[in-house]
Structure 1
Amino acid sequence: MTEIRPAPPSAIPPSPDRIGEGQPDTARETANAGQRLEWLDICRGLTIVLVVLHHVTGAGLDHAPTGGKLYFAVLSVNRFTQLVVPTFLFLSALVFALSPLSRFSWRRYLSSRARQLLWPYVLWTALYLGFQIVTGVGPVAGQRLAAFWNPGLLQGKGYFHLYYLLLALQVALLLPFIRALLVRGREQGRRPLRLGWVALGAAALQLGIYLVNLRVWHLNNVGVLSLWYVLPLVLGTALGASPDRFTALWARRKGWLLAACGVAFALYLPSGFAEVLHRPLNVLAYTAGNWAYTVLAALVLSGVSVELLRYTSPLGEKLRHLLGRLGQLSLQVYLLHPMLLWVLDRLPYPKPAALQVLVIVLYTALGVGLPLAFARLIEGRRLSVWLFGR
């Protein structure tokens, strides 16, 4: 499948662990913790749908006439879905910040990350290397072991989406240190740092990293570096400094966040178009616009997930349940869907614009639904642990 990938690229990380390891002391605390987890799972579910849509629209651009209305409509959706990396990193940081500080154990933490991140990364790099060999695009005999190691494992290039597991491994090592800086006073009853100052500091640090790369590192594939996502990681950690900090922020500032996100997307979109169309591009403006839009979009999508908890109709409950289960199994969908999309991309593609839109919707539904069905079929079995580390 032809993949349109920006810099930084978009993908989906595996679901973070659930909040805490102990049980709340009261029924009310249990209910509150469950509700917090529910919106987080809903947000992960929404985001995995968007990542599949991102990949489907990336391939759809090959079939739409370049420069036409359909092309720019599909491209706009593709640029919109760039929010997925910051959203999942934001959620991962928030969940980790909410976990009990006093119960943290490096040994237990690293063991769980090795099982849930490192093992799937190694296994699926090997599986997708085999998939490429079978489909005739893999390395030739004699070069396969070297390709598995580098660029496979060392650069995250075993397949177009696997680099994110390499990024997730870096993030897993970085989050305990970010939490130690921003959340360590919580269990002593101290107030968390002011969110505005944290955001300004994170933005300044992010700009500093950009300048270091520009003048010192000269790295092209910066999207695979955890430091390229300081903003969502720091903001997620800061908002996880107290259990209800994000929901309180959303309740007070939802209008401003929605407006700011819309403005940021409108300002970023021309640069997003230029990057895909290989037109002259101000790299700093593109990168800053991408950071601003995607971080704001991560906050908005999280807020939308909180809003979904308010719909108590039977249809609303079914939707929440579906999205929640999808969020819990997002790693499985993430790992499986590229193989399915590769098969779908070999089918005849219609010419009429309306049919192409329907195909994008259908392929997105299949790309989410079939991996989800397989994940649920083997859930709780040894095969699931072997394949997905959970």
Structure 2
Amino acid sequence: MSAVFEKPSLRQRVVPFLQGFDGPLAFAIFLLAMGGLLTMYSVGFDFGNRFADHARNMFLAGMIMFIVAQVPPQRLMSFAIPLYTVGVALLIAVAVFGITKKGARRWINVGIVIQPSEIMKIGMPLMLAWWFQKREGQLRWLDFAVAAVLLALPVGLIMKQPDLGTSLLVLSAGVSVIFFAGLPWKLVVPPVVLGLVALVLIVMFESQICAEGVRWPILHDYQQQRICTLLDPSKDPLGKGFHIIQGMIAIGSGGLLGKGFMQGTQTHLEFIPERTTDFIFAAYAEEFGLMGTAFLIVAFLFLILRGLAIALEAPTLFSRLLAGAVTMIFFTYAFVNMGMVSGILPVVGVPLPFISYGGTAMATLGLGLGILMSIAKSKRLVQT
């Protein structure tokens, strides 16, 4: 009888929690986390406590991922409406009496100073995935119209702050859910074609539309300047074009194998602005070269493909849409950051996942990874 009441061993108690972790996804996270720590040590060893803080942020993100991985997707769905509602309410509060820093009103004091737009990176796909789950089997064009309104409200509020980088991430997450839910191609193709046409016209008539005194509709002046600077950074090499030029110099000077760990001259002579945050990819490419950059890109591709595989194998529509949207957030983070540092996209405030310094962004990444782990675990439970 004593064997019946025998206490389970530590291994027996821990294994059920670890079974929620998807092996291939965990491997991709490990590679990127090690790359992030290595890079931050190099670029941040003479930058205060950046390396120690980055390691702490990674640990906290890992704890968030571990905790969220234990929450079943059905439970996650119950947070959709409250999280979205609170997020939108806080964005409205920011617009009315938020804290302004460097010309942008993005923060609010609720006992502690927070940036509500970060909530919508997860709250937006959660809400739309919940909406389409409720409409499963009876989708009409009106359902897609409602989803578009739900997406436009927070994106518009974030752009008004202004915060182009975060609005782009929230928009990407929302559009991903709408597309994966079955948005007809006839509604997808026209905006894409119009965007390509507009891009060609901007490039062809750059000198006229970027002339002094010309103002574009919708965009703020600084956003227009970033696009014009992207088209020709040499017009203001010591001013608005400095970031792009120095980033491209650092990437090009890395060559095939790079200058070596902690040997980047552009980095350590402080020619690269924001070398521990938005422009850390330039520092990475300078020290590790084309081969190191290829390794980083392959690691991100592996993570993204694994996330999409989890989405395809998810047991419910809500899980599929949410996993797909979270995965596309990682794609947008990596693509936009690498693109802006390489000079093919305008400079926006989007960090490189796991590599760039930043506590709030790291916590959001941990939450997203926890959601993917939770969905992967639910698939295994269904199979068994």
Q: TM-score, normalised by structure 1?
A: 0.32
Larger Rg: 2
Structure with higher RCO (Cα < 8 A, 6+ apart): 1
Q: TM-score, normalised by structure 2?
A: 0.32
